[in-house]
Amino acid sequence: MSWIAFALAILAGVAIFLSPSMWQLLLPISAVLVIVSGLFDALDGKVARLTGKESRRGDLLDHVLDRYADVIMVGAVAVSAWCDPYIGMLAIIGMLMTSYMGTQCQAIGAGRLYSGLLGRADRVVLLTIAPLLQMVFILFSEGRVDLGPVSLSAFELVMIWFALVGNITAVQRALRIWKMVPP
């Protein structure tokens, strides 16, 4: 199931990247691919436990494929025509640091940490909404919304959220881990 989730994430990334030229078709497809990928990812661990196939290697594989899936999907947005690449890079940093802090807690023996404002499930939901919101932006405001002197796409708004809230979440987690570590 982890591999299916990963393959769907790759397809979602490709659809997002190619969507500016065929947005009517590829934006809704990318939204479906993101959410179905997230669904398979959410179920893989539960299925492994229920079938007695849970293992440390499976957990490692899940984490590795999740990070690649995250970078592929957010990276596709970052290098697409929908997004300023600098905003996309900051989103990737926020996303990776949030995940890193979660696994760093596990590495010190305190268990996996999922707390904070922006976890993986939140990112999946927002990456599902972003293409649909982009369609609304295209239909009603030429693909962008003006916020004062700045004009942003729906994807850029989501990437800014990932950058800001992702890094805040990473700092929250780091502070929580810091309190767990003996001096």
Q: Are 116 and 169 in contact (CB under 8 A)?
A: yes
Which tokens in the block code for residue 180? 């767990």
Q: How far apart are CA 75 and CA 53, in angstroms?
A: 32
Confidence of residue 110 (pLDDT cuts 50, 70, 90): confident
Among 112-116, 152-156, 168-172, the least confident range: 112-116
Q: Could you read off the pLDDT of 126-167 as tens digits, one per residue?
A: 999 999 999 999 999 889 999 999 999 999 999 999 999 999
What is the residue extent of each domain of the chain? Answer: 2-180
> Is the pLDDT confidence value at 16 over 80?
yes
Q: Give the model's pLDDT for residue 103.
A: 85
Q: Give the model's pLDDT for residue 125.
A: 96
DSSP 28: H
User: For residue 169, which amino acid is it?
Assistant: T
Evaluate the CA torsion angle 83, 93, 33, 121 in order and state its sign: negative
Residue closest to 166 by CA, chosen among 113, 88, 97, 79: 97
Residue closest to 27 by CA, chosen among 67, 70, 77: 77
Residue closest to 105 by CA, chosen among 116, 117, 94: 116
Q: Give the model's pLDDT for residue 19.
A: 97
Beta-bridge mates of residue 91: none
Planar angle of CA 142, 74, 98, nearest 5 degrees: 130
Q: How far apart are CA 139 and CA 129, in angstroms?
A: 16
**pTM above threshold 0.85:** yes
- How many residues are listed for the chain in this entry? 183
Q: Give the model's pLDDT for residue 133.
A: 97
> Is the pLDDT confidence value at 6 over 90?
yes
**Torsion angles phi and psi, residue 83, rounded to 5:** -140, 145
Q: Are 138 and 90 in contact (CB under 8 A)?
A: no
> Is the pLDDT confidence value at 115 over 80?
no
Q: Give the model's pLDDT for residue 134.
A: 97
Q: Could you read off the pLDDT of 38-94 as tens digits, one per residue?
A: 999 999 888 988 898 889 899 889 989 999 999 999 999 999 999 999 999 999 999
For range 168-174, the mean pLDDT = 92
Q: Are 123 and 95 in contact (CB under 8 A)?
A: yes
Q: How far apart are CA 162 and CA 121, in angstroms?
A: 12
Kindly report the CATH number that applies to the domain delimited by 2-180: 1.20.120.1760
